[in-house]
Structure 1
Amino acid sequence: MRSGDVRRAAEVLLEAERSVTARGPITAQWPDLDLPSAYTVQYEALQQRLHRGETLIGVKLGLTSRAKQIRMGIDSPSLAWLTDAMVLPAGVPLPREKLIHPRAEPEIVFVMGERLAGPGVTAATALAAVERVYGGVEIIDSRYRDFKFTLADAVADNSSSGLFVLGPVGRSPDGMDLLHEACLLEVDGQITDSATGAAVQGHPAEALALAANSLGARGLAIEAGAVVLTGGMTDAVHVKPGARVAAHFSTLGTVTIAGGTACRSST
């Protein structure tokens, strides 16, 4: 894509987010949008976010489950950026007026203690760079109508970024069994899904290593203090008005989004 098209595509997606308006895939307007071009659009949109006052705080992975990868016809996750505008503090109402069609998915979240730069990062070296581990819930919100898009469309749209909530329990990764860290997803009092850390690229640390190596190939790194959402453990569920969605982690507490309000509890 030409630089002018990259800038325009980023502006179109940011305007859809700002105006809370679903649209068709941008590949209809820019059919030459391939995956490398999509990441260029995504990075341009990040620069525009930073220019308007947002602060880069981390990265997120998408499509980390094998089932999702098969549905999208890919063999590796996607990456996207997190800014401070995407943080939803505990007790703050879900701003539905700013979201098109929010969906929630539970995630294992890392907060980095050290800078992590590829290539050559392994799961072991990645985990050694982690300071704290949290449970969390990401609220994804595609700008595309009916969540229908190609992989390139999704990547350009910052992998359907919306908001995220961190859970109440932050633990050192030392001694944690992240492979078997379990999560029960509850919707309106009913358990609808469950998973363990193994659903995230085989192990959440594998997802972290992949993110560091993928960014390293572009001359980028995961900085100390960064928040890393490692990817949905279960399929995302639509957050209907008035619904209560809770993610119950085995050792990382509970994260609840209830009645339009995000709240946290330690049990």
Structure 2
Amino acid sequence: MFAEIVCASRPGSGRPNEDLVIAGPSWIVVLDGATAAQGVASGCAHDVPWLVGRLGGALAAGLSADHDAPPAEILEAAIETTMAAHSGTCDLDNPDSPSSTVAMVRSSRNGVEYLVLGDSPVVFSLEGGGVRVESDDRLDRLPGGRPYTVELVRRMRNAPGGFWVAGSRPEAARQARCGVVADARGVGALTDGVSRLVEWYGWSWRDLVAALDGKGPEAVIAAVRELERRRPPAHGKRHDDATAAWTRV
């Protein structure tokens, strides 16, 4: 079981928040829905918050019902459940169908299990003072470098040699980065709206862990927003949806 779990989430604009954080006594899940590029037809009658909400609900049910199933199996079943909820109304073969990253942690007998799919990392504070980061950087390693074209992202999403997200391909769950950390003292799950503190604004992962542990997720998100106001990002959204969850182990 985890100790007290604290979390916060803020939208990046006047649009609905496409992030989601859910938690139970022994698990945390953070999702970051992928905003569709302007003018791209997703083939889906539902928006991204719908997809994220359905996927999150299915993950919560799976994590609550089966404490021993591997996280990737739980995610695969959750994607299948979500697909079934809109298989009669939407074109699930459309590569631009709504999707989401997944950052999941779960307390176990051997330590803290993690699953990362897409660019929402998990960060651990370790016994002895170290920090460990588990991330999925495949989106950052697409050919040609950023900014990516819409066509490149469409072609490389959920494809060998590309990057993987949770949407309408259950097999994507088998591509998640999974493992166990035996010596965790604390653990956080983040969307990239928070991890930009490290990637863009010069914080170290140690700085971020210390802020999560000492001040909490709400203060960390406030720090993101202040930096974005003072020094807007060179590319991407000025203010992205930002979500963080933290617990001591």
Q: Give the TM-score normalised by structure 1.
A: 0.26
Q: Give the TM-score normalised by structure 2.
A: 0.27
